[in-house]
Chain A
Amino acid sequence: MAELHEKTLKKLMEKGVEEAIVILRSVERNCVRYANNEPTVAFSEAVDILTIYSSIMERSFLGSFENVSEDFIEKIVDEVVTMTKNSPPSPYYTPIPKGPFSYRSEKRVERRIGKLDEQLVSYVSEAVKASREAGAERSAGIIYSEYQEEKLASSTGLNLREEASSITLNNRAFASPEATGQWVSCSTALRDFDPYDAGRRAGEIARMSLNPVLIDEGTYDVYMGPLIFANMMSEVAGFASGFLVQIEMSFLTGKLGEKVGSEELTVIDDPTMPQGLGEKVFDDEGMPTQRTVIIEKGLLKNYLHNSRTAKVAGALSTGNAGIIYPHPWNIVVEPGSMKEEDMLHKLGRGLYLTNCWYTRYQNYRTGDFSTIVRDGAFYVEDGEVKRSVKGCRISDNLQRIISNIEALSDRLYPIKWWEVEVPTYVPAAIIRNVRITRAFG
């Protein structure tokens, strides 16, 4: 028996649409937020979302509908057909991919993760306990468990289905109002999920951060821990989107084939990573996803494309649709060779920074930006942490930052939280000559 998305596709074609892709996403998500060591709210969500792309004579329309039921299909289809016919023809129009394609079939999904509800409260309890044991007074954070099923049918005969699940916890520990530490645990496999470890690490950073002092502005060598480095790398990979490149909202515009970073840096979008947080089999156009090297040893190798941006660029889709906006799925930075325990020694003198937030650009095209350092920042001398510091801001240029990467550690951490929305696997990094500023007054 035909499912809802298949029926919708059939009706669209009957009503004269030339091409269509219909995606039905069903999401179940549970969450507990907490602050001051206690849950503040627990929530639960169950939704179906129907995404429809259609075209007639190079006129196209993209819609997202949440009133999904058999009763509404007729209404939705009529709306889509009308909107498509009324849209002007666009030179960006591209036929949807035809295939045949071959898809990876080995994806493993733990459905039980999406069903976790009350259990989340006990995970919160573990994280809070660990932070306190490590020296924090209080913790705030959030835990999500999520299960998603996605079904895609297209006028080119594709009929696909994919599942995904994940559990993520972000714990921020406070040893005093000024001394905070943050850590995450993110996984697609329950056996790898470790709320206690996230709480402990956050608590340890918070304790180390007690009694911070202001430092002078200037240029510092910096040891970036995984959270802050993931923030930088998710920015870099995000700017590889063909869409952003084409509207000059990216410092990577016009630099394909050029050196944009240090030879130490290789950045890959790898949705094929087994049990990766962003593992994905097909994109929103039904294209098989692929491992795409964005930057290889400092050279910009590829942008991330869907069919539309690929057409403008004279390139091929890299399986990163978003039908309008291509985007990375699962960012991986290749690890280096240094042991983490040797990183401070390698740094010698400078700053050890653990996290940042509020990254904003003066100019996307040049990459001039600043970001606020938070959750554990330390002055390092002779390879040792000397004191906790506060009030720092990185005020620099993204290309200069990635060009000054000197060393990467040999271990990758999966990072996904409020500030790093696309799953990002990163090592720790040493970056020379980072411009640090602070407030006046």
Chain B
Amino acid sequence: MLDAIGILKKVIDYAIASGASYAEARFHNDSEKSVTLKNGEVEAVEASYERGVGIRVIVNGGLGFASTNLLKPETITQVVDKAVKMARASSSLKSVSIRFSDEEPYSVDWRVFEKKSLEDWSLNDKVDFLKKLDGEILSQGVNVSSRYLTYSEENTERAYVNTEGSLVLAMVPRPSFFALITVSDSSKGVIQRTLQFGGSGGLEVVDSWRLEEKLKEEVKVLHKMLVDSVQPPEEIMDVVIGSEVTGIVSHEASGHPGEADRILGREGAQAGESYLKPTDIGRKIGSEVVNLVDDPTLPGSYGFYLFDDEGVKARRKYLIKEGRICEFLMNRETAANLGVKSNGSARASGYDVEPIVRMSNTFMLPGEYTLEELLSDVSKGVYIKSFMEWNIDDKRWNQRYVGLEAYMIEDGKVTVPVRNPVIEITTEKLFSSIDAVGRDLDFTAATCGKGDPMQGVPVYTGGPSVRMRRIRIGRAG
């Protein structure tokens, strides 16, 4: 890594000498190793190693980015030349120069330590682990027609320098697990579930997932939903959603629209813009019990980081406080546009992409109610514990969540399973209909996609169980 720092410093010096007013350089040494089991047998043992440098410059008010994994001095010099040339060319069409917010430079080395080393877990151990899980899935007396299980270990090692004196070193190991399970019944058809687990740390993170127990439970639930579920009533009812659904709502309807680059139009052609305007801080968007944050500093989380990819110190951000928009997610460019400081939300998925505004761990804060208390006050409604299909428009206003594990609530009690109840609702209606928030808090690992070139970054979505009053439930299909 020390070699890398020397190279990076030379790179930014060369960029300044070439006409840049600002330069930063980031070195990544990233790896991912995975094992995939297809229907009980090993399909693939794979590994990828990504190692390269990304350079970002401001020249004449234009922003340029260049990357290479050809780490010879002459190649890197050519890449800097290209970044400067492209930035200068794009500046010719700019009416307003790119600026970055003023930030304190840090010299810091942060890393996530493995309490139980992943290195000690051999490839054979991993294969045995997956085969055991596969066996448990098959042993539930349910017709599981196909299984696809993948265990992965990513490790990212990064060095970042900029011309303002920042030097940030980081290392994060991240194990993850993905499953697609299909349960069949000769008369009822098929039902499917995708599951993702992830975190930062070592083998202790994998242990914490309790995969054996969870997969066995999921298979039984899938069978029950397939065989026993009935169509939900199509009417306006009270709805209680579980943590998994609260998590995706938090991510899609609060996190994404709160990204300042979307608000300012920078993602307009791809992921889209936002229902929020720069002047919407303080706007009422939900009931007073809604408090929602993005927090990269949660230990062990999948979206964990302590300094972002612009060298800015990470912190918890309140996106919604007591039902009102509180803060946007910002990097240095959008913060400068909005006349404030960055809140450390810049992330780059690899050395070969620019850092852009991203979420980390986005979740609704828990309240005071037990699940039983949330349910007890519902005379007729639906409890949606998990989901498969979802989507939201590119302003993050019109969204749909289709339940997977779901039940009727009758006189305060969970009763019969219901098949794929649909919530299709606007963001304001959704957040405004929440009248009570549970005290339970759980997280789901996900890979959030944004940007062009596409950047997938690890995140948590999360929250407690939540009760919504009088919203429309529809049927799928």
A-to-B contact residues, CB < 8 Å: 30-36, 38-49, 60-69, 79, 83, 86-88, 90-92, 117-118, 120-121, 124-125, 138-142, 170-172, 174, 177, 182, 246-249, 308, 324, 357-366, 368-372, 374, 391, 393, 395, 397, 418, 437-441
Q: Which residues of chain B (165-196) have a CB below 8 Å from chain A?
A: 180, 182, 189-192
In the bound complex, CA of A46 to CA of B267 (Å): 24
Residues on B with beta carbons closer than 8 Å to the beta carbon of A142: 269-270, 452
Q: Is the CB of A40 within 8 A of B266?
A: yes
Q: Which residues of chain B (98-148) have a CB below 8 Å from chain A?
A: 122-124, 127, 145-148
Q: Which of B43, B87, B420, B424 has the most CB of A within 10 A?
A: B43
Closest 8 CB pairs of A and B: A441-B429, A140-B268, A39-B90, A42-B86, A362-B389, A358-B391, A140-B269, A43-B65
In the bound complex, CA of A356 to CA of B394 (Å): 10
- Closest residue of chain B to A87, judged by CB? B45
Q: Is the CB of A368 within 8 A of B52?
A: no
- Interface residue? B456 (CB, 8 A): no
- Interface residue? B392 (CB, 8 A): yes
Q: Is the CB of A393 within 8 A of B269?
A: no
Residues on B with beta carbons closer than 8 Å to the beta carbon of A32: 86, 90
Give A44 Cβ to nearest chain B Cβ, in Å: 4
In the bound complex, CA of A14 to CA of B405 (Å): 54
Q: Is the CB of A370 within 8 A of B182?
A: no
- Interface residue? B25 (CB, 8 A): no
In the bound complex, CA of A125 to CA of B66 (Å): 22
In the bound complex, CA of A7 to CA of B115 (Å): 40
In the bound complex, CA of A91 to CA of B394 (Å): 44
- Closest residue of chain B to A63, judged by CB? B47
In the bound complex, CA of A393 to CA of B476 (Å): 12
- Interface residue? B400 (CB, 8 A): yes
In the bound complex, CA of A439 to CA of B395 (Å): 13
In the bound complex, CA of A40 to CA of B93 (Å): 10
In the bound complex, CA of A247 to CA of B267 (Å): 34
Q: Is the CB of B90 within 8 A of A42?
A: yes
In the bound complex, CA of A409 to CA of B194 (Å): 38
Give B225 Cβ to nearest chain A Cβ, in Å: 11
Give A435 Cβ to nearest chain B Cβ, in Å: 8
Q: Identify 16 new A-B residue pairs, CB closer than 8 A, beyond the known A43-B83, A437-B424.
A: A38-B95, A41-B63, A41-B64, A43-B64, A44-B79, A83-B45, A139-B269, A142-B269, A170-B270, A247-B38, A363-B192, A365-B192, A372-B391, A437-B400, A439-B426, A440-B424
Give B83 Cβ to nearest chain A Cβ, in Å: 6
Residues on A with beta carbons closer than 8 Å to the beta carbon of B69: 47-49, 66-68
Interface SS, A side = strand
B-to-A contact residues, CB < 8 Å: 36, 38-39, 41-52, 62-72, 75, 78-79, 82-83, 85-87, 89-96, 122-124, 127, 145-148, 180, 182, 189-192, 264-270, 272-273, 352, 354, 388-395, 397-400, 402, 404, 420, 422, 424-426, 428-430, 452-454, 471-472, 474, 476-477
In the bound complex, CA of A101 to CA of B408 (Å): 61
Residues on B with beta carbons closer than 8 Å to the beta carbon of A117: 82, 85-86, 89
Q: Is the CB of B44 within 8 A of A62?
A: yes
5 example contacts (A-B, Cβ-Cβ < 8 A) are as follows: A38-B96, A43-B65, A246-B39, A247-B147, A439-B400
Give B414 Cβ to nearest chain A Cβ, in Å: 22
Residues on A with beta carbons closer than 8 Å to the beta carbon of B264: 36
Taking A86-B123, A90-B43, A125-B93 as contacts, is the C-beta distance between A42 and B424 under 8 angstroms?
Answer: no
Residues on B with beta carbons closer than 8 Å to the beta carbon of A88: 42, 123-124, 127
Give B403 Cβ to nearest chain A Cβ, in Å: 9
Residues on B with beta carbons closer than 8 Å to the beta carbon of A40: 63, 266
In the bound complex, CA of A48 to CA of B52 (Å): 10
Q: Is the CB of A363 within 8 A of B388?
A: yes
In the bound complex, CA of A441 to CA of B79 (Å): 51
Which of A38, A64, A172 meets B49, CB within 8 Å?
Answer: A64
Q: Is the CB of B424 within 8 A of A83?
A: no
- Closest residue of chain B to A80, judged by CB? B47
Q: Is the CB of B87 within 8 A of A42?
A: yes
In the bound complex, CA of A221 to CA of B413 (Å): 42
In the bound complex, CA of A62 to CA of B49 (Å): 12
Q: Is the CB of A363 within 8 A of B191?
A: yes
Q: Is the CB of B190 within 8 A of A33?
A: no
- Closest residue of chain B to A374, judged by CB? B394
Residues on B with beta carbons closer than 8 Å to the beta carbon of A397: 477
Give A422 Cβ to nearest chain B Cβ, in Å: 14
In the bound complex, CA of A285 to CA of B39 (Å): 24
Q: Is the CB of A92 within 8 A of B269?
A: no
Q: Is the CB of A372 within 8 A of B352?
A: no
Residues on B with beta carbons closer than 8 Å to the beta carbon of A66: 49-52, 69
Q: Which of B48, B395, B404, B476 has the most CB of A within 10 A?
A: B476
In the bound complex, CA of A34 to CA of B265 (Å): 10
Residues on A with beta carbons closer than 8 Å to the beta carbon of B182: 247-248, 365
Residues on B with beta carbons closer than 8 Å to the beta carbon of A361: 388-389
- Closest residue of chain A to B49, judged by CB? A65
Which of A61, A177, A364 meets B192, CB within 8 Å?
Answer: A364
- Closest residue of chain B to A421, judged by CB? B454
Give B231 Cβ to nearest chain A Cβ, in Å: 14
- Closest residue of chain A to B28, judged by CB? A66
Residues on A with beta carbons closer than 8 Å to the beta carbon of B267: 35, 140
Residues on B with beta carbons closer than 8 Å to the beta carbon of A171: 269
Q: Is the CB of B429 within 8 A of A362?
A: no
- Closest residue of chain A to B191, judged by CB? A363
Residues on B with beta carbons closer than 8 Å to the beta carbon of A30: 82, 86
Residues on A with beta carbons closer than 8 Å to the beta carbon of B45: 60-62, 83, 86-87
Q: Is the CB of B122 within 8 A of A42?
A: no
Q: Is the CB of A249 within 8 A of B180?
A: yes
Taking A47-B352, A60-B45, A125-B93 as contacts, is the C-beta distance between A440 and B394 under 8 angstroms?
Answer: no
Taking A66-B50, A171-B269 as contacts, is the C-beta distance between A47 and B68 under 8 angstroms?
Answer: yes
Residues on A with beta carbons closer than 8 Å to the beta carbon of B404: 362
In the bound complex, CA of A204 to CA of B477 (Å): 34
In the bound complex, CA of A32 to CA of B89 (Å): 10
